[in-house]
Amino acid sequence: MNRVSTNATTGGTSGPTAAEFCGHCGESSDGGASATSDVHHTCEELLQLEPPRYCAACRRRMKVQVTPLGWSAECSRHGLLSP
């Protein structure tokens, strides 16, 4: 998954950030500190089939566009996310 992001205040780009929230349900992620719960295990399986709906960095709902060739998701703060 490639993350292309532009920082609105500095105009720079930033790389991937650690996921603090689940991209499917938007709930808090355990950050890898413990075993994945059954709920987030299901979310991980669903994210293999469909695009994320929530930004993993800030929990905002993303603007998602699905096309026959793939998908893109955009966070208003963190920019574009694509497969």
Burial of 81 (0-12, 13-18, 19+ CB in 10 A): buried
pTM of the predicted structure, to 2 decimals: 0.64
Range of the domain at 25: 2-82
Into how many domains does the chain fold? Answer: 1
pLDDT per residue as tens, the chain (83 positions): 444 443 333 333 444 445 688 888 888 876 555 555 666 788 888 888 889 998 888 889 999 999 999 999 999 998 897 77
Q: Taking the mean position of all CA atoms in its chain, how far away is CA 71?
A: 12
pLDDT of residue 10: 35
